[in-house]
Chains A and B, each alone.
Chain A
Amino acid sequence: MSFLHSFRTLVSSLFHRSKVEREMEEELRAHIEDRAADLERTGVSKTEAERRARIEFGGYQRFKEECREVSGTHFLEALLQDLRFGMRMLGKSPGFTAAAIMTLALGIGANTAIFSYVDAWLIKPLPYPQAEKLMVFLAHDRKKGWTNNSVTSTADFLEFQHLNTSFAETAAWAGWNFNLTGDGPPAFVEGGRVSWNYFETLGASPILGRTFTAEEDKPGGDHVAVLGQGLWQSRFAGDPGIVGRTIKIDDETYTVVGVMPGTFQFPLMGIANLWTPMALSDKETADRNSSWFSAFGRLKPGITQRKAAAESEAIFARLEKEYPQTNTNVTSEVRSMIEEIGKNEGTTQVMICFWIVALILLIACANVANLMLVRATRRVKEFAVRRALGATKGRLARQVLCESLLLFFFGGVAGALFGAWGMKWIQSAIPDRVRGYLVNYGEVNLDFTTLGFTLGIALLCGLVFGLAPAFEGSRADLNAPLKESSGQASESGRGARLRRIFVGAEIALAVVVLICTTLLVRSFLISVRSSPGFNPANVMVAQLQLPKTRYRQEETMRNFTEQVLERIRALPQVVSAGAASSVPFGGFGQVALIAAVGKTVPKAEERRAARFTVVSADYFSTMQIGLIRGRGFTSEDAPGSSPSAIINQTLARQLWPNEDPIGQKIQYGEQHNIATIVGIVTDIKMFQLRARPERQMYVSLTQFPSPTLGFVARTADHSTEMATAIRDEIWAVDRDQPVSAVEPLHTLIMVTDAGNLVLTELMVFFGVIATLLGAIGIYGVMAHQVQQRTHEIGIRVALGASPVQIVRMVLGQGMKLAGIGVVVGIAAALGAARSLASLLYSVTPNDPLTFTSVALLFGLVAAAAGYLPARRAMRVDPVVALRHE
């Protein structure tokens, strides 16, 4: 309250300044007039009386100033004066001002950009009411250690839903692709199958119609759909009568019951524009082995995450006892939805960027503080004069502090602009497909929180880093500098030491930043240069899903696949073409439990899974996946003949460590199919460039036609015409078959690796800034030192020092400083880099190559930055230098 009160007084005295001033004037004038009138009464002439009255009064302006000072508004007045003066001083040295503001803009701007993401993704709540109450359920196997973002099994989930008392609602969801036909060209629409209460649990409501009812979430009543606003507008022209209209999904008729607003989002699912009920079948609800969906719940009021987790643990412990066959070691974790989404958004990456930009800001601030210190030394004379004229030490310190604050304020403003640009750049670097998994679709704005943060850190740094120069400036000795005839004011020992400490710290920080960024960049380069196991260059990919309604028979699926392959192969630009049930980086894949036939069958929980792909005969050659042994699929593997399988090296090594797998039999899948191994191929990466090798097995598409298909074509060019041509060939076979975007395989890889690419680009940028600022710091200190020591160097030269000796002396000092900085920096980096471990690939956090090269680089940078001042020192003409005196 008292703060508010004094603030009000301050404001009112500021605004009523003119009134106070007027009244003061009136009062003093009245005094003089009264006095003159009294004197006149004693017989003096009017003019003489007035003159005497004024003389008796004394220094009118001085007393007025004193009145102002004691009446308290003086401080603000002086502050304004200081600010005005500061502006003038900054304007007088545009070079210094520009350099400082640009340095700060880089440092502050980088912080603004990164902070905006920290704020948008880590601080701001999810766009749902009481989002902190939303919890996701993750299946966890205690023994094998894996955690899966789906429920443990359908039956488990339903039982949990029934038994728990912690959650007001629990809802289930699964991402789903739909084929939309009728109303225009067939379209491949991303969406989800959701339990009826999915929208309500999130707290979202439709803009048109309604969401699902419990009745509709049962087989038979489930042919209803909710549209996303985007789809409603693009495909149905925003038809206001859409509710009640029927649409064709996967060739079946669905009735639209509602439209969700464009702002509705569920980052765990990604972009979604169409939802249908899950309508679990009786067979599914009884399934204790597996599930195909994920689930989340909304905590009841007053229930904490910990309480809910404890209850969930108890329920799953009971299930474990009841169903040891399926539930041994299986439990379900209760995790905050916000944190789970944060994982998709790269919380770790964002936080690492945040720390790195904080270090860069420190470097930038140290640089600017150094510039200000140099300026303070250069201004010693000015300060001495002002002290002689009556300025107090405090006033001088305040003045320097004001200049610093002004500088940092402008730096902050420039930084906000630069940061806003940086934000937009980061945003544009995130592919649309990835954005669906980000809160608010990755949209980040320069809002008040971010702006407040920017100006806050700018002013805070201005205050902290302005203190040293302010202190130095206020120590101005009244006499010394004025006595010096040359104007070569000497710096106080402490000022010089402070500057060296600043630069040493700056170099150490720059080393830490550069080592961290280099480690991340190296990881990226290694991962993109490493072979994914296939050759992605010049391969086009088209993905689709055959609807069950029209492709119930294996024969129809086989015919479709073969006809499409034939037509694509016939295209003039196409070198070869193949098909697979799932393609690398297509975002989709299947897994099958496997076992080597003839070996002791492991216990259920020890059965191994492998990535399972059905491929056409030309798939391996088109993708250029290397065949190590045996053969690929051929016409031998025809429908009806005994199934063949091809496995990758990792699977071969793990299942038949000391035997030849060719000719062995492998059991796979729920039907316990058995296939004979005919070949071994190289490992390939399916989802992530940084993935570890996994077991992979392939069977023939001719023997096992697949409803999910990815066509790959090795082509001479990958223009959009090529993409259209491939799509048209598919439509030539089935004109109602929607196809995903036909894209180069390279693009698919880029999309999945976009996060790493953005991080890497940022790291390159941060590394360059840190090095640059470090170099500027060393240069500044050494240039200033040479200038300060011109006289001394002159004497040395006059006494016979050779140019080499002079250079060695000057450079030696800089190198010593750099050396200390590098050593400290490396020690700090050894600790800091450990927190990067999870983001590194094929590089250890204490990678010797990185550490040595950064150390060497900084040696070179220090030498280069010291070279110019050293050369200047070498050229000091003793006659000129001494005459300087």
Chain B
Amino acid sequence: MDNQAQILPGTLDLLILKAVSLGPLHGYGVLLRIEQISRGALLVEQGALYPALYRLVRQGLLKAKWGVSDNNRRAKFYELTAGGRKRLREEEDGWNRLAAAIGSALKARPEEV
């Protein structure tokens, strides 16, 4: 488990939006998708997923619909709204900028200073 990282505060929403953008998912599916797309590197506290999902629904970024899951059970599926898609793009850009900035900062060598 040592190679797994706790996700940074504030990034859970981004991850959820990304996961759902790849196709409608139910709650457990979101968890699995995040693990899958991060190649198991990111650890989401499972219960914490739900307050985040509810909040995103309330903010109008996700919409929830009841459907049937693979194992033939009634399940609540989340999908992106237009607002959600827009927000995802913004967050992605922001993240990339931040990551690039931090990356370049960390690559700095003494002679560059």
Are A34 and B54 in contact, with the CB atoms below 8 A?
no
Residues 1 to 58 of chain A near chain B (Cβ within 8 Å): 23-24, 26-28, 30-31, 34-35, 37, 56-58
Residue in chain A with minimal CB distance to B46: A57
Residues 22 to 80 of chain B near chain A (Cβ within 8 Å): 26-28, 31, 45-48, 50-51, 54-55, 57-58, 66, 69, 71, 73-76
Are B28 and A63 in contact, with the CB atoms below 8 A?
no
Are B58 and A71 in contact, with the CB atoms below 8 A?
yes
Contact of A30 among B47, B48, B54, B73 (CB under 8 A): B73
In the complex, A291 Cα to B69 Cα: how many Å? 96
Residue in chain A with minimal CB distance to B70: A34
With a cutoff of 8 Å between Cβ atoms, the chain B residues found around residue A215 in the complex are none
Are B57 and A63 in contact, with the CB atoms below 8 A?
no
How far in angstroms is the closest Cβ of chain A from B56?
A: 9
Tell me if A76 is interfacial: C-beta within 8 Å of chain B.
no
How far in angstroms is the closest Cβ of chain A from B49?
A: 8
Residue in chain B with minimal CB distance to A55: B46
Tell me if A70 is interfacial: C-beta within 8 Å of chain B.
yes
Are B58 and A57 in contact, with the CB atoms below 8 A?
no
Whether A26 touches B51, Cβ cut-off 8 Å, given contacts A31-B27, A31-B28, is no
Are A63 and B47 in contact, with the CB atoms below 8 A?
yes
In the complex, A26 Cα to B50 Cα: how many Å? 12
Contact of A34 among B28, B48, B51 (CB under 8 A): B28
In the complex, A62 Cα to B27 Cα: how many Å? 17
Are A60 and B47 in contact, with the CB atoms below 8 A?
yes
How far in angstroms is the closest Cβ of chain B from A494?
A: 38
Tell me if A203 is interfacial: C-beta within 8 Å of chain B.
no
Whether A30 touches B26, Cβ cut-off 8 Å, given contacts A35-B46, A57-B46, A63-B50, is yes
Are A71 and B26 in contact, with the CB atoms below 8 A?
no
Are A30 and B46 in contact, with the CB atoms below 8 A?
no
Contact of B76 among A27, A56, A64 (CB under 8 A): A27
With a cutoff of 8 Å between Cβ atoms, the chain B residues found around residue A35 in the complex are 28, 46
Whether A66 touches B51, Cβ cut-off 8 Å, given contacts A31-B27, A71-B58, is yes
Tell me if A145 is interfacial: C-beta within 8 Å of chain B.
no
In the complex, A58 Cα to B31 Cα: how many Å? 14
Contact of A58 among B46, B54, B55, B71 (CB under 8 A): B46
With a cutoff of 8 Å between Cβ atoms, the chain B residues found around residue A60 in the complex are 47
Residue in chain B with minimal CB distance to A58: B47
In the complex, A494 Cα to B57 Cα: how many Å? 44
Tell me if A59 is interfacial: C-beta within 8 Å of chain B.
yes
- Grouping DSSP codes into helix (H, G, I), strand (E, B) and loop, the B interface class, with mixed when no group exceeds half, is helix
Are B48 and A63 in contact, with the CB atoms below 8 A?
yes
Are A26 and B57 in contact, with the CB atoms below 8 A?
no
In the complex, A23 Cα to B53 Cα: how many Å? 14
Are B46 and A31 in contact, with the CB atoms below 8 A?
yes
Whether A28 touches B50, Cβ cut-off 8 Å, given contacts A70-B55, A71-B58, is yes
With a cutoff of 8 Å between Cβ atoms, the chain A residues found around residue B48 in the complex are 58, 63
Contact of A56 among B26, B46, B55 (CB under 8 A): B46
Are B28 and A30 in contact, with the CB atoms below 8 A?
yes
Are A71 and B50 in contact, with the CB atoms below 8 A?
no
With a cutoff of 8 Å between Cβ atoms, the chain B residues found around residue A67 in the complex are 50-51, 54
With a cutoff of 8 Å between Cβ atoms, the chain A residues found around residue B55 in the complex are 70
How far in angstroms is the closest Cβ of chain B from A566?
A: 98
With a cutoff of 8 Å between Cβ atoms, the chain B residues found around residue A27 in the complex are 26-27, 50, 75-76
In the complex, A59 Cα to B50 Cα: how many Å? 12
How far in angstroms is the closest Cβ of chain A from B100?
A: 32
In the complex, A635 Cα to B54 Cα: how many Å? 108
How far in angstroms is the closest Cβ of chain A from B62?
A: 12
Contact with B along A747-767 (1 / 0, CB 8 A): 000000000000000000000
Tell me if A238 is interfacial: C-beta within 8 Å of chain B.
no
In the complex, A59 Cα to B57 Cα: how many Å? 22
With a cutoff of 8 Å between Cβ atoms, the chain B residues found around residue A70 in the complex are 51, 54-55, 58
With a cutoff of 8 Å between Cβ atoms, the chain B residues found around residue A57 in the complex are 46-47
How far in angstroms is the closest Cβ of chain B from A59?
A: 6
With a cutoff of 8 Å between Cβ atoms, the chain A residues found around residue B47 in the complex are 28, 57-60, 62-63
In the complex, A66 Cα to B45 Cα: how many Å? 14
How far in angstroms is the closest Cβ of chain A from B63?
A: 13
Tell me if A72 is interfacial: C-beta within 8 Å of chain B.
yes
In the complex, A70 Cα to B57 Cα: how many Å? 9
How far in angstroms is the closest Cβ of chain A from B88?
A: 19
Contact with B along A57-96 (1 / 0, CB 8 A): 1111011101101111000000000000000000000000
In the complex, A601 Cα to B57 Cα: how many Å? 98
In the complex, A861 Cα to B12 Cα: how many Å? 68
With a cutoff of 8 Å between Cβ atoms, the chain A residues found around residue B26 in the complex are 27, 30
With a cutoff of 8 Å between Cβ atoms, the chain B residues found around residue A66 in the complex are 50-51, 54
- In this complex, which of A31, A58, A66 has the most chain B Cβ atoms within 10 angstroms of its Cβ? A31
Whether A23 touches B76, Cβ cut-off 8 Å, given contacts A30-B26, A58-B45, A71-B57, is yes
With a cutoff of 8 Å between Cβ atoms, the chain B residues found around residue A69 in the complex are 51
In the complex, A620 Cα to B27 Cα: how many Å? 104
In the complex, A63 Cα to B76 Cα: how many Å? 17
How far in angstroms is the closest Cβ of chain B from A136?
A: 63
In the complex, A27 Cα to B48 Cα: how many Å? 13
In the complex, A63 Cα to B69 Cα: how many Å? 23
In the complex, A67 Cα to B52 Cα: how many Å? 8
Contact of A26 among B45, B54, B58, B74 (CB under 8 A): B74
How far in angstroms is the closest Cβ of chain B from A248?
A: 84
Are A71 and B46 in contact, with the CB atoms below 8 A?
no
With a cutoff of 8 Å between Cβ atoms, the chain A residues found around residue B27 in the complex are 27-28, 30-31
In the complex, A72 Cα to B73 Cα: how many Å? 27
How far in angstroms is the closest Cβ of chain A from B47?
A: 4
Contact of B54 among A31, A37, A59, A71 (CB under 8 A): A71
With a cutoff of 8 Å between Cβ atoms, the chain B residues found around residue A63 in the complex are 47-48, 50-51
How far in angstroms is the closest Cβ of chain A from B17?
A: 16
How far in angstroms is the closest Cβ of chain A from B95?
A: 23
With a cutoff of 8 Å between Cβ atoms, the chain B residues found around residue A58 in the complex are 45-48
Residue in chain B with minimal CB distance to A53: B46
In the complex, A476 Cα to B27 Cα: how many Å? 41
In the complex, A702 Cα to B35 Cα: how many Å? 122
In the complex, A34 Cα to B75 Cα: how many Å? 11
- In this complex, which of A24, A28, A34, A57 has the most chain B Cβ atoms within 10 angstroms of its Cβ? A34
In the complex, A27 Cα to B50 Cα: how many Å? 9
- In this complex, which of B31, B46, B47, B76 has the most chain A Cβ atoms within 10 angstroms of its Cβ? B47
In the complex, A187 Cα to B31 Cα: how many Å? 97
With a cutoff of 8 Å between Cβ atoms, the chain B residues found around residue A59 in the complex are 47
With a cutoff of 8 Å between Cβ atoms, the chain A residues found around residue B66 in the complex are 23
With a cutoff of 8 Å between Cβ atoms, the chain A residues found around residue B76 in the complex are 23, 26-27
In the complex, A24 Cα to B53 Cα: how many Å? 11
In the complex, A52 Cα to B45 Cα: how many Å? 13
- In this complex, which of A27, A62, A67, A72 has the most chain B Cβ atoms within 10 angstroms of its Cβ? A27
How far in angstroms is the closest Cβ of chain B from A370?
A: 42
Residue in chain B with minimal CB distance to A59: B47
In the complex, A59 Cα to B28 Cα: how many Å? 16
In the complex, A28 Cα to B51 Cα: how many Å? 11
With a cutoff of 8 Å between Cβ atoms, the chain B residues found around residue A72 in the complex are 58
With a cutoff of 8 Å between Cβ atoms, the chain B residues found around residue A26 in the complex are 74, 76
Residue in chain B with minimal CB distance to A62: B47
Residue in chain A with minimal CB distance to B57: A71
In the complex, A27 Cα to B25 Cα: how many Å? 12
Residues 73 to 92 of chain B near chain A (Cβ within 8 Å): 73-76
Residue in chain A with minimal CB distance to B75: A30
In the complex, A31 Cα to B45 Cα: how many Å? 13
What are 16 A-B contacts with C-beta separation under 8 Å?
A26-B74, A28-B47, A28-B50, A30-B75, A31-B27, A31-B28, A31-B46, A34-B71, A37-B71, A57-B46, A57-B47, A58-B47, A60-B47, A62-B47, A67-B50, A72-B58
Interface positions of B (Cβ within 8 A of A): 26-28, 31, 45-48, 50-51, 54-55, 57-58, 66, 69, 71, 73-76
Given A63-B48, A71-B58; 8 other pairs, CB 8 A cutoff: A23-B66, A27-B50, A27-B75, A31-B31, A35-B28, A58-B47, A66-B50, A67-B51
Q: What are the 8 A-B residue pairs with the smallest beta carbon separation, nearest first?
A: A58-B47, A66-B51, A63-B47, A70-B55, A34-B28, A31-B28, A67-B54, A57-B46
